[in-house]
Amino acid sequence: MESRWRQADAEGLEGVALLVYVSRLIGRERDLVLWGGGNTSVKVQAADALGRPVDLLFIKPSGADLASIREEEFAPLRLEDLRPLRGREALDDAGMVDLVACALSRPAAARPSIEALLHAFLPQRFVLHSHADALLALCNHADGAGRVREVLGTDVAAVPYRRPGFALAREVAEACAGMKEGGACVLLKHGLVTFGDDARAAYERHIELVTRCEQALPLPAVGEAAPPDRDRAARLGPQLRGALGVRRVLLFDDDPEVRAALSDEALLERTQRGPATADHLIRTGRVPCIVRGPEDVVRYREAYGEWASGDREGLERLPSAPHVMLAPGVGMWTCGRTFEEAVVAHDLYRQTLRILQRAGDGWEPIDAEQALHAEYWPLQHAKLQRFGPGELEGRVAWISGAAGGIGSAIARRFAAEGAHLILCDIDGDAVEALAREIGIHALALDCDVTDEAQVQDSFRRACLGYGGVDIVVSNAGIAHAALLEELTLEDWRRSMEVNSTAHYLVARAALPILREQELGGAFVFVASKNVPAPGAGFAAYSAAKAAQTQLARVLALEAAPLGVRVNVLHPDAVFEGSGLWSAEVRRERARAHGVPVEELEDFYTRRNLLRTRVRPQDVAEAALFFASDRSSRTTGATLAVDGGVREAFPR
Ligand code: ZN
C-alpha cells in the first residue's frame, strides 16, 4: 500500500485541520475502510466557551465517512472528564455513552464514535483506526497474536477480540503503555490502531504495517471465472427476492472477479465461518447465504432464527433475511431496504471476498456467540435507525410513458414514497433526464411498448437491476382525433397497438415474474374518462382505451389467485406536461367542442362538476393509492380522476 501523504498539501496544517487531511487519506483507501468504518482523533489545547484553556479530544462521530469528513464534523470531548475513567473497575455501555455525552464541549455535536474512550486513554496526539483488509486476513486466525508478532514485529501490541467499549479501551491503553512515536496495536479480529504525536508518522506507520500484511498474505491470482449467465440471474433474482420474507431491493453483481471467487469451493466454505470484522455485521450479516435456489434462503432464515434466539440484550430481533446471497455460477446479490443499503452491503462483501482470498484456510473469525453479542448491541442498532420509511419502501415499480406529464408525476410521487423505479419511455433522452433527477432509485429504459421483445427486456432489466418488480403502471398512450369517416385504417391500428395491445404485452411480461416472486403485486392501468363517456371524433382512442380497461378487468380475474391486484384509472383532460395533447389533437378537440383552441383547457375545466383543472399529481395520488397497501382489498376497480364528468350514455 502506498502512502498518499503529500507534504505540500499538509504544509501549514495543524490540529483538527491536519486531522481532516490524514482522515481523508485513510478514508480514500478502500482497502483500509469503507462506508463509515474506522475512526480518527486528535488531542488539542483550545479555549472553552468562556475562554478558559481546555484539553480537547476531537473524534470522528459514529457513522461519519472518513473519505469526505469536514472539520466541523469532529466531536470535541473534554479530556479531563474522560481520562479519570481509566481508573474505574468497570463501566457498562450505557454508562460509557452517558459519560462521553457529558464530556462534549459542544452539546449539539454529533454522537462521538463508540471507540472514543480508546482514543482518549492513549496519550499520543493523533490516533488512527482502520479495518484494513490485509490485516484482517492476518489476524482472523487461531494464533492471531503469534502471526502479528511474526509479521509485524514484537513492538506491535495485540489485544484479543472483544466488543468495543470501556474494557477494550483500557486493555489497549495497558498494552500500549510506554509506546511513543509510531506506536501500534492490533485489535485481533477487528482492526488496527496506530498513534503518535506526529500525524505523518502515525499515518505512515499505519500504511507500513498494512503493507507488511499485504506482502505476507498476497492476494492470490484470480482463477478462471465461469461465463456469465444473465438469463439464469434474471430468473433466479425474483425467486430469491420472494423468499426473503421481507420486502427488499436487490443489487446483482456478476463481474469476473466475483464469478471467479464464487467458483472457489474452499473460499465459499470460509464465507460460512463469520465476518471479517464485527463492524460489518449489521450491513452484511454474520454469514452470506449460498444459494442454488430459493429453498436455500428459507433454510438460512431458519438457521438465523435459531442463532438469534440467544441473548439479544433486550433488543428486538432483526429480520432473518440474508443481506448477501452468493450463487455459484451466477453471481452475488446484496439486499437492502433501499438501494443504498444494498450498495453498502455489496461494497463491504466484495472487500470481504478479497480478505478471504488472502486469508487462506487458517481463517478463523469471531465465533457465533461473539457475533451475536456484536450484532445485538444497542450501540450498533442505533446506526440502523432511520426516519420516515415511505409507503413503497423496498418495492420496485415499472412505469411506462414515464417521461410524460402523468408518468413523471407518478414516478416522482412513488420515488418520494421510497419505491425503486424502472422508467420506460419511447423518448429515451427525456426518461434518462428524469432518472438522473431521481437518482440511484431509478433506471431509465428507452422502450417502445408495442415491441414485444423490448417489453420483455424491460422486465428482465427490472429483475437484474432491483431483483424483481412489485408494481406495474401501464400508462403509455397516444391520442388521435378524427371523425370516423375521416379516420384512416393506419391511425386506427396505431391507436389499437399503443393503447390496447401494448398493455397486453406488458401484462403478459410482468405476470410470470409476480408469480415467481410470490409477493403479490399491483397493476395500475391508466385508461381514460373516454371509456365511460366517449367523445365524438375520438373513436380510435376511446375504443382502444375501452379494450385496455376490459383487458385489466380480465387480468384482475386471472391474477387474483396470486394476490396480485389490478385496477384502472380514468383521468380526464390532464394537459400539463402531456404528450397526448399534441397541437393537432388540441385543434381537433376544440373544433369538436366548438370552442377556440386557446380556450380548450378552460372549456374542460368548466365542463366538470367541480369546475377544476385535473393535474398530473392528482392522477399520481390515485396511482399511489392503487399501488400501495392502502387499497389492499380492492381489485378490478376503476377510479375516475376527472373532476366529475356526466356520462354520455347510461351504463
Ligand atoms: Zn473498529
Nearest-CA neighbor of 352 among 14, 19, 34, 25?
34
Per-residue cell: 588: 381537433
Give me ligand 1 centre to Cα 539, in Å.
Answer: 69
Q: What is the dihedral of CA 70, 73, 74, 80, to 10 degrees?
A: 150
Give me ligand 1 centre to Cα 278, in Å.
Answer: 8
Q: How far is CA 582 from CA 78, 128, 208, 588, 616, in A?
A: 68, 63, 67, 10, 16
Give me ligand 1 centre to Cα 38, in Å.
Answer: 5
Q: What is the dihedral of CA 528, 522, 248, 385, to 10 degrees?
A: 70
Residue ranges of the chain with per-residue pLDDT less than 50 = 651
Which amino acid, residue 440? I
Q: Hey, how many other C-beta atoms are within 10 angstroms of the C-beta on 246? A: 12
Give me ligand 1 centre to Cα 624, in Å.
Answer: 43
> Fold identical between 7-216 and 396-578+615-640?
no
DSSP 123-139: -SSEEEEE--HHHHHHH
Beta bridge partners of 445: 424
Give me ligand 1 centre to Cα 331, in Å.
Answer: 29
Q: How far apart are CA 19 and CA 264, in angstroms?
A: 41
Q: How far apart are CA 385 and CA 609, in angstroms?
A: 47
Q: How far apart are CA 543 and CA 479, in angstroms?
A: 11
Length of the chain: 651
Q: How far apart are CA 540 and CA 203, in angstroms?
A: 72
DSSP 409: H
Give me ligand 1 centre to Cα 113, in Å.
Answer: 9
Beta bridge partners of 548: none
Residue 58 confidence (pLDDT): 94
Per-residue cell: 63: 457513522
Q: How far apart are CA 35 and CA 27, in angstroms?
A: 9
Q: How far apart are CA 622 and CA 475, in angstroms?
A: 13
Helix or strand holding residue 640 (H, E): strand 638-641
Residue 75 confidence (pLDDT): 92
DSSP 594-637: TS-GGGHHHHHHHHSTT-----HHHHHHHHHHHHSGGGTT--S-
Output phi, psi for 396, to 5 deg.
-115, 125
Q: How far is CA 443 from CA 323, 407, 435, 526, in A?
A: 22, 14, 6, 21
Give me ligand 1 centre to Cα 164, in Å.
Answer: 8
Give me ligand 1 centre to Cα 150, in Å.
Answer: 23
Query: Burial of 446 by CB count in 10 Å (0-12 exposed, 13-18 middle, 19+ buried)?
Result: middle
Q: How far apart are CA 136 and CA 27, in angstroms?
A: 17
Query: What is the sign, positive or negative, of the torsion defined by CA atoms of 634, 637, 641, 643?
Result: negative
Q: Are residues 213 and 151 in contact, defined by beta-carbon separation less than 8 angstroms?
A: yes
Instruction: Please provide the distance, in angstroms rounded to a whole number, between the alpha carbons at the two ends of the chain.
Output: 76
Q: What is the dihedral of CA 455, 457, 458, 462, to 10 degrees?
A: 140
Q: How far apart are CA 603 and CA 643, in angstroms?
A: 13
Which amino acid, residue 573? A
Q: Using alpha carbons only, what angle is made at residue 615 by residues 611 and 619, rounded to the nearest 5 degrees?
A: 110
Which amino acid, residue 475? N
Nearest-CA neighbor of 275 among 360, 368, 343, 188?
368
Q: How far apart are CA 19 and CA 13, in angstroms?
A: 9
Known catalytic membership, residue 541: yes
Beta bridge partners of 185: 157, 193
Q: How far is CA 290 from CA 138, 254, 343, in A?
A: 25, 15, 19
- Say what angle helices 452-466 and 502-517 make with each other, to 10 degrees: 30
Q: Evaluate whether the domain defined by 7-216 bears CATH number 2.40.170.20.
A: no
SS3 467: coil
Give me ligand 1 centre to Cα 348, in Å.
Answer: 14
Output phi, psi for 127, to 5 deg.
-130, 125
Domain regions of the chain by residue span: 7-216, 230-381, 396-578+615-640
DSSP 472: E
Give me ligand 1 centre to Cα 533, in Å.
Answer: 66
Give me ligand 1 centre to Cα 89, in Å.
Answer: 23
Q: Hey, how many other C-beta atoms are within 10 angstroms of the C-beta on 398? A: 29
Nearest-CA neighbor of 33 among 115, 119, 113, 132?
132
The owner of cell 430468473 is 235
Q: Are residues 441 and 429 in contact, defined by beta-carbon separation less than 8 angstroms?
A: no
Give me ligand 1 centre to Cα 114, in Å.
Answer: 9
- CATH of segment(s) 396-578+615-640: 3.40.50.720
DSSP 337: S
Give me ligand 1 centre to Cα 305, in Å.
Answer: 27
Give me ligand 1 centre to Cα 394, in Å.
Answer: 29
Per-residue cell: 97: 455513552
Query: What is the sign, positive or negative, of the torsion defined by CA atoms of 236, 242, 245, 251?
Result: positive
Q: Are residues 250 and 464 in contact, defined by beta-carbon separation less than 8 angstroms?
A: no
Q: How far apart are CA 579 and CA 597, in angstroms?
A: 17
Residue 49 confidence (pLDDT): 75
Active-site entry in 203, 304, 376, 541: 541
Report the DSSP pairing between strands 564-571 and 521-526. parallel
SS3 91: coil
Q: How far apart are CA 355 and CA 569, in angstroms?
A: 53
Q: Hey, how many other C-beta atoms are within 10 angstroms of the C-beta on 211? A: 15
Rg, C-alpha atoms of the chain: 30
Q: What are the pLDDT digits (tens) for 608-647? A: 899 999 999 999 999 999 999 999 999 999 999 999 987 6
DSSP 56-87: EEEEPBTT--GGG--GGGSEEEEHHHHGGGGG
